[in-house]
Amino acid sequence: MIGIIEKVVVDCLLQEGGDELRQDVFLAAGIPNDRVYRMDKHYPDTETASLLSATMSVTGMEEAQLFQLFSAVFFDVVEDVFPEFIRMCDTSEDLVRKQAKIHALIAAGSREPGESSKSTDKFQLKDHGPYHISVRYKSDLQLPGLYEALVKEAASLYGDEVALSRGDCPEGSGATIMTVKWVSIAGHPTEYAPEFQDLQKTWGRGALHG
């Protein structure tokens, strides 16, 4: 996993409980206390999984809570490191469509041969027209909930509203297909608003809402 994931998790720990909390989580995860995560370096998926698991265990956060906190801190990091991506985007749809490029750009700086292409291959975006995309996601860690949290946070930042759904890839490859539809942009309904309202009646507002 590229180091931005680990870096953001550490930033979350520092924000929530200072360096004492970071040390407690590192100890629980079996990570050397002097580890400094770099965005241009890849780390074993097993270490990433241990870091996430230990964070939830030590803090008592549920996965959804951790991913929500992660998403807010993540965009702070992106705005600091890659401000041009934020400036280029007028809506959360613009930003989410560029997410794979952001991920690939970070991975391209990897110091380890072959690792960059692994990161780039994790996301494949399919364009279904305005306000509608699907993303094929495949990773050994399988964290589709993290991607969905990032999409919801992006929508919140821009005052947009999204409807999300998730399913297994029909090819049976172990990948996840995530569908994103923008219901409103800056408060203005899109063509998917009536569809979303029907879903609200069936499933309730919390089920598919950003």
Name the packing angle between helices 63-81 and 45-59 (round to 10°): 120
Task: Please tell me the number of Cα atoms within 13 Å of 83 on its side-chain side.
Answer: 1
SS (H, E, C) 82-146: CHHHHHCCCCHHHHHHCHHHHHHHHHHCCCCCCHHHHHHCCEEEEECCCCEEEEEECCCCCCHHH
Report residue 136 as tokens.
Answer: 């094929």
Q: Which amino acid is at 199?
A: L
- Taking the CA atoms of residue 48, residue 68, residue 117 and residue 129 in that order, the dihedral angle to the nearest 10 degrees is 160
What pLDDT, on a 0 to 100 scale, did the predictor assign at position 27? 98
**CB-based contacts of 198: which residues, under 8 Å, 6+ apart?**
none
Give, for all 210 residues of the chain, the pLDDT tens digit: 678 899 999 999 999 999 999 999 999 999 999 999 998 888 999 999 999 999 999 999 999 999 999 999 998 988 888 888 888 889 999 999 987 777 666 666 555 555 544 555 688 899 999 999 999 998 888 899 999 999 999 999 999 999 999 998 877 678 899 999 999 999 999 999 988 776 555 443 343 444
